Chains A and B, each alone.
Chain A
Amino acid sequence: MGALPAELEHERARIEAIARDYGLVFPRTIFETLDHDNLNEVAAYGGFPTRYPHWRFGMEFEELAKGYRWGLQKIYELVINNDPCYAYLMKSNATVDQKLVIAHVYGHADFFQNNLWFAPTNRRMVDQMANHGIRIRRYMEAVGVEPVEEFLDAAMSLDNLLDPYASYPTTARRPAPSAEEEPPPRVEVPRLKAKGYMDRYINPPGFLEEQRARLGRDRAKAKKFPPEPVRDVLQFLIEYAPLERWQADILGILREEGLYFAPQAMTKIMNEGWATYWHSRILTHHVLNDAEVIDYADHHAGTVHMPPGRLNPYKIGVELWRDIEERWNRGCFGPEWEACEDAEERRRWDRETGLGRSKMFEVRRIYNDVTFLDEFLTPEFVEEHRLFVYRTNPRTGQREIADRDPKAVRDAVLRSLTHLGRPHVTVVDGNGRNRGELHLVHRHEGVDLEIEASLTTLKNLYKIWTRPVLLETQVEGKGKVLSFDGKEAKAEDTASGG
């Protein structure tokens, strides 16, 4: 690890001043240069070299090292959402690359600090991750490395089953119990017929009381649990699975780290687009000298390169930001603009409002990818950037362009972004068939699950829940129930057909 060399430090200070001049607001940002081996190590740990030990990070590292060795991929930089913000740069980057990357980092740092969706993230995550590492190592000392690793293996395969919005304050989603709802009628235990004076002996009060209590318990058991489907499967497990303290703590750690990373997945397009916009702006207007232009352009082009049939978040992001800037500069918004149907007039539209920059800052504060694309992926944009929807042709099995309708394109993009592109799975019953079975439902949104991987995940879930687990989903339009009961993993058609 090393601080920036003097020459770069000078450039960094200059770039920081320019960025702040433009109105970017970010915490102190600490830059370190690392060689490729160390950078790959940091990247394997998701940016946090102090994380808990697990072989998955070793696997990640091998993949990265292999990719680097074969020249397939190279990490230029890593930015950590933290206060102070940390940025790791590849030591071997050329100076012009470092300048680009530094400007890019300030874009991210600004976004982390100001975007609403990052508001609940822990800004001391570097310390917190280290704490998590210490706790998990302590458990390894106390109960042994193997059991902890085994538990981590099982728990990690569930770490995407959380509610990415769990850390945001919500208004009460659950309706308060209404006044009209009557209290359940008192449970009556049938009595044997007896003459008054014998009643005390034939129906002893103690026995009756016992029976009443038993009926009450049965009824409570039969009640729905949880009352509403629960999206935050991890939290549900923490509360209700038969766990040791250390196990519950590890689930909590995974959940906390998952929630910390969620906003980055939630704003990938916006965030990368924003950082790209700013590195491009700052470098081309202020920083580059004549000798560097070509190298800069080469690197920048690589960043925003979009092969046909693929969406590059850097490219889509930066183009959308530029589109917003231009539209609000020309005043292409509001009822008058909406009402105008003359394409030629719309093309030449200019109200000289000059609001572009301020609109951008407003958007970066309150939007996330879903709302961002919903609002700003306009028909003109879709047309200009030649976006299309593709579909697999069932006859040839080949993917082909299916539709260029702007609305269809927007819908398809939004669909791929909802729930961070992860399947939407909820707990609907924690006491399935009144035998403590865990019942999950996958809300099918057009794409089938990978059955094999899902079944293995259920096996891991079983290790934690210790009772049979099942997942309802759909495959090729037909209802399917995947289940694991401790012995056998099955995928069966549902009778009702989903």
Chain B
Amino acid sequence: MVRKIDRDHARFREIVRGRIRKDLHRYITNGELLGRLGKHAVSIPLPQIELPRIRYGPNPKSGVGQGEGAPGTPLEGEGSGNAGDAEGSHVLEVEVTLEELAALLGEELGLPRIQPKGTRWLRSTAGVYTGIARRGPESLRHFKRTYKHALRRTISLGLYDPVRPRVIPWREDRRYRSRKVTDSPESSAVILYMMDVSGSMGKEQKEIVRLAAFWIDTWLRSQYRNLEVRYIVHDAVAHVVDAHTFFHLRESGGTKISSAYELALRLVEEKFPADTWNVYAFHFSDGDNWSARDTERCVELLKLQFLNRANLFCYGQVKSAYGSGQFKKDLDAAFGNDERVRSCDIPDREGIPKAIRAFLGAAT
């Protein structure tokens, strides 16, 4: 039976979805609008969804409380002293699963579902206990089945006495719950984020990369069940780092992009063989490279080796005060109509949605 509240609740979720979708561009370009980020869900404060009322501001300047302390003692913790109507003003936070968010992103930016390459069958033992086995841990013993077997055996052995119905299960009677092992197609993907951390990449540039990476992550995660992420930073040399370092590191010095590409290539060769992994690489930089020679080397690396192994290589050129923007031009000249290489200028935060569409949208 559908409960009454389910209909109202579904309508509420629909409205939430609509509001988020309407403001998605704002969320994409402004990370602070998203609230706490969990593993599977993100909570989004939606002040505009609450019914507006003519009401008092959030922080009453005065009120009544209880406790010790002379005048002048600051209050511990928070708490309003309004004893009347409890119409407190807190901002409603709705929870949206990352899958839902990815679906919204896909709809809004018109992203196509990804055709994974190299699917393989994975023996997955995780899942529900639907089977019955004769052996297993005691904690999984199926009491009812065990009893039934014991009862059947007792009766067939003629030991059953209706006056004193005692049933003692033997070892052979015991039945246990077990997991059914199923084979399911499983595709895995790895995202490689590479970022130029040379002196010219400022705080704002990194913020743009961070936001773009979050949304790319969200989208690809909704497409693959098994997603690995690796972060590479480079100036004149490249390193694999963790996510926190990736977004917060500030280096200075020259830029040798080929160092990052070499490292990425080595990583893919060693850990993510192309026949089972879908490889997506994203490189963000302000477009300055050490020398034209190095750029040549980059193009060569991509063309001859990397693209054979990767699904996609994307280059986002974040505008900075110092970057010349030469790298994108060179890249475009070399891979003009290769679908596997996509590049996009990201002049500011507003450019993020466009970049995501350019990277992950249908090929034009």
Contact = CB atoms under 8 A, between A and B. Distances in A.
B8 A416 contact: no
Interface string A397-429: 011111110000100110011101111010000
A456 interface: yes
Interface residues of A, number: 76
Contact of A471 (B54, B55, B77): B54
B178 to A, nearest CB: 30
B62 interface: yes
B51 A425 contact: no
B321 interface: no
A464 interface: no
B163 interface: no
Interface in B69-105: 69-85, 87, 89, 92, 94-95
B79 A53 contact: no
A369 B49 CA distance: 32
B158 interface: no
Interface in B11-62: 11-15, 48-49, 51-62
Interface in A13-68: 41, 44-45, 49, 53-59, 61-63, 66
A57 B8 contact: yes
Contacts of B60: 416, 447
A307 B79 CA distance: 9
Contacts of A386: 66-68
B81 A58 contact: no
B74 A387 contact: no
Most buried by B among A62, A157, A160, A369: A62
Contacts of A57: 5, 8
B52 A457 contact: yes
Contacts of B89: 450, 453
A308 B54 contact: no
B83 A388 contact: no
B10 interface: yes
B55 A390 contact: no
A308 B69 CA distance: 10
A265 interface: yes
A396 B75 CA distance: 12
B52 A456 contact: yes
A391 B62 contact: yes
A58 B8 contact: yes
Given A385-B66, A422-B87, A160 B80 contact: no
B81 A311 contact: yes
Nearest to A461: B54
A313 interface: yes
B8 A390 contact: no
A459 B67 CA distance: 42
B171 interface: no
Contact of A59 (B7, B49, B85): B49
A160 B66 contact: no
Interface in A450-465: 450-451, 453-454, 456-457, 459-460
A392 B14 CA distance: 40
A460 B62 contact: no
A450 B51 contact: no
A442 B87 CA distance: 18
Nearest to A396: B74
A403 B73 CA distance: 10
A249 B65 CA distance: 42
A400 B5 contact: no
A417 B83 CA distance: 7
A310 interface: yes
A449 interface: yes
A216 interface: no
Most buried by B among A49, A396, A447: A447
A48 to B, nearest CB: 11
A310 B83 CA distance: 9
Contact of A389 (B51, B62, B69): B62
B5 A44 contact: yes
Interface in A137-175: 153, 156-161
Interface string A425-449: 1000000000000000010001111
B55 A449 contact: yes
Contacts of A447: 56-57, 60-61
Contacts of A66: 95
Interface of A: 41, 44-45, 49, 53-59, 61-63, 66, 153, 156-161, 265, 268-269, 306-311, 313, 316, 369, 385-393, 396, 398-404, 409, 412-413, 416-418, 420-423, 425, 442, 446-451, 453-454, 456-457, 459-460, 471
7 contacts: A57-B5, A58-B11, A387-B64, A417-B84, A421-B82, A422-B55, A457-B52
Given A54-B8, A447-B57, 18 more contacts: A41-B4, A41-B5, A45-B4, A55-B11, A160-B53, A307-B79, A308-B77, A309-B76, A311-B82, A316-B83, A387-B66, A388-B67, A389-B62, A390-B62, A391-B62, A393-B74, A401-B74, A454-B52
**Which 3 residue pairs across A and B have the least CB separation, nearest first?**
A421-B84, A308-B67, A58-B12
Interface of B: 3-5, 7-15, 48-49, 51-85, 87, 89, 92, 94-95
